[in-house]
Amino acid sequence: MTQSIAPVPPPAPPAAEAKPTPGRRSGPAAPKPPSAWSGLWRTIRRVAPWILIPTFAWWLFFSAGARDMFTLLGLLWESIHPVSRTIIGVTIGTAFQLAFAISFAILQFVAIFWFMSQTRVDVIRPEDPKSVTFKDYWGQPNLVALVRQWIGLLADRRDFVKMGGKYINGILLYGPPGTGKTMLAKAMAGEAGIPFISIEGSGFRGMFWGVDVLRMVQFVGRAKKLAREYGACICYIDEIDAVGQSRGGVMGGRGGMGMGMGGMMGGGSGALTRLLYEMDGIEQPSLGDKLKGRWYRFIGKEVPKKTWHVLFMGSTNRPEVLDAALLRPGRFDAKIQVDPPDRAGRREIVRGYLSRIKHKDVDIEAIVEDTPNATPAQIASAIGKDSVRIALSKGRDHVTQNDVDRAIDEQRYGLEQPIEEWDPVQRVQVAYHEAGHAVAQHYAMPDQRIVRVTIVRRGAALGFMHPVDRTEVHAMPMRRIVADVIVAMAGHVAVKLHMGEYWTGAYSDNEMIRSQIRHLYLLGYFGPPIGSWESGMPLWAERFWRVMEEQTENLLRDHMAETESIAKALLERNTLTNPEVLALLSDNGWRAERIDNVPTAFPELLPRLAGAPGLPSPAMLASSRPTTLVQLPPDPVPAVAAHAEVIAVRSEDTGRPARMLPPPRPQDFAQRQLQYQADAQPEAKGAPDPKATS
């Protein structure tokens, strides 16, 4: 018996490459749009009830068949005995009244809950003009590359389903406010060509118990409906911490106050529980899917696999308060941190928003440098709103660099509120204060650029000096914090030098100095940070403050003429820009081509210690016999002699300018502390006992 072999058909010719359709987005294949028949069916479902109900009412009251039917019913009613008719009528009337009362109560209850369950839900379909793509999302190229793999699966899930893959249920975006978390979710939906439905987390809260659950059911139901229509949908909850906050007493949670009175007023965990249920059951077939599957099995066909999916997304700036059950794998599988853009990202954002407005002679690099750590929302508001408003108020039809600078200052410090009748002496005091900050900033921190110095009141500040980093700072030496302390002290000290006494106005500067000294302590600048600040500032911190204030005064005494020049210029012009300030200051040693421009511009404390580090030893400040570095005693004690010996070793000529000398290193502090302890022990042994003497 032979087996016949079917001839092998010739290979099919290769399919011609489909030409891209004009107007279609590039990238992953978009899902098949709904057909014209589905749109016609949706229209029929919406219009049919409004046609059928009036038609039935017209037939009931105006047709001959309806009149004959009512006549027949009347004859049957007349044939019944009068007593029976009375009993039947009373019974039917009572039943009707009872049914009406129950129906009205139910209808009223349903209507009230339906009305309370309505909340603002934003829906963006792929064909809507509000739809955005990654072309509209600037400044985060690495983030875009990270989410593109999920975008491809949302756009075309056929191969993924054939391989048996299980799609992720949720993506959590977290980061500071204004970093573009919502914009990223919208761009993901627009790039994939799928609908985007969003709601605020606080929108689930209601006055009565159960309203939050009802709103969650309606919201997820609308998302599923859109997913069946388009193949996929992004279900986005903004500020998800309002609904997903950790529940008290839950294993793995982070504590909480429990339900309490909030549960009676709709503030419990019902919405969170329902959200967890919906995320777990998103792959489970609905009642309609089950009936459809039974029909396919009844007619002997294979049940089609589910081809639609709902991707849950949430955003928060407080991920630590979210419930542990919400963050486990299978719910929010992926967690993406959205940080403020770096320098390159800000450049792209500034260029993008400038392309949407009329502008002239705007320096993009200056804006990028003046906005360190700025979020996309802040940049968009400064360029697209405030700068245009300022330009229109000046009578121009385009935005200039000055308009953008003023918009950035308004965001950071508030609106200008000049004092019309300002006492001249008080105005001079503010001018000296800000001039002292500017001089100390220029020489103590050359790696920062002074953007603006002003004595125009903004909010609670009578004036300010605005510095920015010349380069992005992600890590820095601790001496930079010490230099920042000097800059903060300079305003208060300059007023004393030029006006003869201290004035008010340095409260915020002193708060910042206390914070920076504590920061230095926690970083180990003064040795192992094993103490506590609960009982107030330690004694050695007060001594360190005094020495820093003394050093700041020495710096300002060396540059009194420059401080005077800046103060006079402020009194004449109120505001000085970077070129105007630099014209009144000398060279601080900073060079753009150098890579070691660190903030090490500290003045000399003594001519005899020329070339020695300008910062004091914290071990010396903490010793039992503190001394001043300005006037050393003629016959120093062993501790001071050891300190002078250490300084002499580090006083060798390094070839650097005197104002660019580095402060002591932390390891020097430990060596000096050991020397102090060794010198203090013999003195303690040789000292007579005061009790024995008495």
Confidence band (pLDDT; 50, 70, 90) for 680? Answer: low
Q: Is residue 258 part of a domain?
A: no
With CA atoms as reference, report the closest residue to 217 among 117, 292, 289.
Answer: 117
Identify the weakest region by mean pLDDT among 175-179, 280-284, 534-538, 565-569. 534-538
Final residue before a domain boundary, out of 392, 413, 434: 413
Q: Give yes or no: residues 206 and 316 share one domain.
A: yes
Q: How many domains does the chain have?
A: 5
Long-range contacts of residues 539-543, Cβ cutoff 8 Å, at least 24 apart:
539/622, 540/618, 540/621, 540/622, 541/517, 543/621, 543/622, 543/626
Cβ proximity of 373 and 340 under 8 Å: yes
Q: Is residue 479 part of a domain?
A: yes
Q: Give yes or no: residues 566 and 689 share one domain.
A: no
Residue type for position 622? A
For a pLDDT cut of 70, what percent of the chain falls above it? Answer: 73
Residue type for position 144? V
Distance CA(520)–CA(481), nearest Å, equals: 7
Q: Give yes or no: residues 673 and 645 share one domain.
A: yes
Distance CA(660)–CA(508), nearest Å, equals: 28
Q: Give yes or no: residues 196 and 332 share one domain.
A: yes
Final residue before a domain boundary, out of 575, 603, 631: 603
Residue 655, exposed/middle/buried by CB under 10 A (0-12, 13-18, 19+)?
A: exposed
Identify the weakest region by mean pLDDT among 22-26, 157-161, 381-385, 591-595. 22-26
**196-200: strand order across its sheet:** 122-124, 196-200, 232-238, 309-316, 170-174, 332-337
Containing domain of residue 649, as a range?
A: 607-694
Distance CA(458)–CA(417), nearest Å, equals: 6
> What phi, psi does 71 have (nearest 5°)?
-65, -45
Residue 69 CB neighbour total at 10 angstroms: 12
Active site residue 683: no
Final residue before a domain boundary, out of 413, 442, 468: 413
Q: Give yes or no: residues 381 and 486 share one domain.
A: no
> pLDDT tens digits, residue range 466-509?
999 888 888 888 888 999 999 999 999 999 999 989 999 899 99
Cβ proximity of 409 and 452 under 8 Å: yes
Q: Is residue 256 part of a domain?
A: no
What is the CA angle 325-331-335, rounded to 5? 95
Distance CA(247)–CA(270), nearest Å, equals: 11
Q: Give yes or no: residues 174 and 243 share one domain.
A: yes
With CA atoms as reference, report the closest residue to 289 among 311, 308, 275, 312.
Answer: 308
Q: Give yes or no: residues 130 and 209 share one domain.
A: yes
Q: What is the CATH number of the domain that holds 321?
A: 3.40.50.300
User: Could you give the C-alpha distances from 180 to 186, 191, 353, in angstroms and in order?
Assistant: 10, 16, 14
> pLDDT tens digits, residue range 260-299?
444 444 445 788 888 998 888 777 777 777 787 788 777 8
Residue type for position 629? L
Confidence band (pLDDT; 50, 70, 90) for 376? Answer: very high
With CA atoms as reference, report the closest residue to 679 among 599, 609, 611, 620.
Answer: 620
Residue 349, exposed/middle/buried by CB under 10 A (0-12, 13-18, 19+)?
A: buried
Q: Is residue 619 part of a domain?
A: yes
pLDDT at 612: 32
Helix, coil or strand: residue 81: coil
Q: Give yes or no: residues 563 and 510 share one domain.
A: yes
Q: Give yes or no: residues 219 and 292 share one domain.
A: yes
pLDDT at 618: 41
Please determine, for residue 251, whether its predicted confidence score (pLDDT) is greater than 80.
no
With CA atoms as reference, report the closest residue to 470 among 320, 369, 335.
Answer: 369
- DSSP per-residue codes, 485-552: HHHHHHHHHHHHHHHSS--S--HHHHHHHHHHHHHHHHTTTTS---S--TTSS-HHHHHHHHHHHHHH
> pLDDT tens digits, residue range 623-660?
433 333 333 334 434 433 433 343 333 334 444 343 33
Q: Is residue 664 part of a domain?
A: yes
Cβ proximity of 575 and 454 under 8 Å: yes
Helix, coil or strand: residue 666: helix
**Residue tagged active-site, from 239, 278, 434, 604:** 434
User: Could you give the C-alpha distances from 396 to 363, 382, 388, 402, 409, in angstroms and in order?
Assistant: 18, 17, 9, 12, 20
With CA atoms as reference, report the closest residue to 493 among 413, 558, 450, 550.
Answer: 550
Q: Give yes or no: residues 406 and 298 share one domain.
A: no
Give the residue, 312 or 210, on which the prediction is more confident: 312
Give the residue, 616 or 126, on which the prediction is more confident: 126
With CA atoms as reference, report the closest residue to 376 among 355, 351, 357.
Answer: 351
Distance CA(612)–CA(662), nearest Å, equals: 9
Q: Is residue 562 part of a domain?
A: yes
pLDDT at 22: 38
Tell me, yes or no, if the pTM score tops 0.75: no
Q: Is residue 268 part of a domain?
A: yes
Give the residue, 550 or 534, on which the prediction is more confident: 550
What is the rounded radius of gyration, in angstroms, for the C-alpha atoms of the chain?
38
Distance CA(664)–CA(677), nearest Å, equals: 19
Give the residue ranges of DSSP H helices in 355-423: 364-370, 376-381, 387-393, 401-413
Q: What is the CATH number of the domain that holds 359?
A: 1.10.8.60
Distance CA(232)–CA(225), nearest Å, equals: 10
Residues pairing with 173 in the sheet? 315, 336
Q: Give yes or no: residues 614 and 585 share one domain.
A: no
pLDDT at 567: 94
Q: Give yes or no: residues 132 and 93 share one domain.
A: no
For a pLDDT cut of 90, what percent of the chain falls above it? Answer: 32
pLDDT at 580: 93
Q: Is residue 14 part of a domain?
A: no
